[in-house]
């Protein structure tokens, strides 16, 4: 089975840049998307097809994917960005989620 | 407004069955694939199943294959998940999600609208 790896946690100061990585074998050959999940809420798609933002998602969210690593970057992080973030890819007729990264805004 | 509303979750004993439903409004349901994703208490997201827009193609996670069935009624804009032979480890919030997918050369898969979820608890 295909596995995705994410750091368990990332801490960032308000206004600074948070970067979350997602690693998998030849991940750069797959499209990756990212979901934000605030406590007690449903997941929200924030990046799809590596680097596209859905309507309504702030420009401070950006994505990239190359080699074995995809990244989600939050520029000018705000307190409301504190949440769990999951990467996701499709492999061999299966949807694969990363384990999630908890972003804490200190 | 685009909306998905799940229902059917319950507290059941091991071995029981349930049918979960997801009512869609605000978009052309028959034009989209749909998926179920679950989240056990305090855990991450786990994909469960996906069905194509017309219902002719389905996919399942290995953990539920043979026990869960996905179906849709486009005339009612409703998605279903029949869950059987339930185990304690199936305890989770089950979300339905509108799915955008393409299985061509540059295949992609993402879920752009999510419901609030329905809770399934399996316990004796």
Does A44 contact B46 at a Cβ distance shorter than 8 Å? no
**Which of chain A's residues have a Cβ under 8 Å away from the Cβ of B62?**
1, 94
pLDDT at residue number B102: 87
Search chain B and give the residue with CA nearest A94: B61
Is pLDDT of B105 > 80? Answer: no
Average pLDDT over residues A22-46: 97
Contact B114 A95 (CB under 8 A): no
Beta carbons of A48 and B110 less than 8 Å apart: yes
Q: How far apart are CA A23 and CA A45, in angstroms?
A: 19
**Residue A97: predicted pLDDT:** 98
CA distance B90 to B94: 10
Chain A residue numbers touching B42 (CB-CB < 8 A): none
pLDDT at A9: 98
- Least confident range of A31-35, A39-43, B105-109: B105-109
Q: Name the average pLDDT for chain A.
A: 97
Element (H, E) at A33: strand A32-37
Which residues in A lie closer than 8 A to residue B57 (C-beta atoms)?
none
CA distances from A72 to A48, A53, B37, B57 (A): 11, 11, 22, 31
From chain A, the residues in CB contact with B61 under 8 A are 94-95
Q: Is the pLDDT of residue B103 over 90?
A: no
Tens digit of pLDDT for each residue in B11-27? 999 999 999 999 999 99
Mean pLDDT within B94-108: 90
Q: Is the pLDDT of residue A16 over 90?
A: yes
pLDDT band per the 50, 70, 90 thresholds, residue B104 = confident
**How far does the CA of residue A58 sit from the closest CA of chain B (Å)?**
15
Please give the C-alpha separations between residue A68 and each of B4, B59, B69, in angstroms, as whole numbers: 34, 26, 34
Measured in angstroms, the CA of A87 and the nearest CA of chain B are apart by 10
| Contact call for residues B49 and B95 (beta carbons, < 8 A) | no
């Amino acid at each position: 089975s295909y596995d995705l790896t994410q750091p368990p946690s990332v801490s960032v100061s308000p206004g600074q840049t948070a970067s979350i990585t997602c690693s998998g074998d030849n991940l750069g050959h797959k499209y990756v998307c990212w979901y934000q999940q605030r406590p007690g809420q449903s997941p929200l798609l924030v990046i799809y097809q590596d680097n596209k933002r859905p309507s309504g998602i702030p420009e401070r969210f950006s994505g990239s994917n190359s080699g074995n690593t995809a990244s989600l970057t939050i520029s000018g992080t705000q307190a409301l960005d504190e949440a769990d973030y999951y990467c996701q890819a499709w492999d061999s007729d299966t949807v694969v989620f990363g384990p999630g990264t908890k972003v804490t805004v200190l | 407004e685009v909306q998905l509303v799940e229902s059917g979750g319950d507290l059941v004993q091991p071995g029981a069955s349930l049918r979960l439903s997801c009512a869609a409004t605000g978009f052309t349901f028959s034009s989209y694939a749909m998926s179920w994703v679950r989240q056990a208490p305090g855990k991450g997201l786990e994909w469960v199943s996906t069905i194509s827009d017309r219902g002719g193609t389905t996919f399942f996670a290995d953990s539920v294959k043979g026990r869960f069935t996905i179906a849709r009624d486009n005339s009612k804009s409703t998605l279903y998940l029949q869950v059987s032979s339930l185990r304690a480890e199936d305890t989770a919030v089950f979300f339905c999600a509108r799915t955008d997918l393409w299985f061509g050369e540059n295949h992609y898969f993402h879920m752009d609208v999510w419901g609030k979820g329905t809770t399934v608890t399996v316990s004796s």
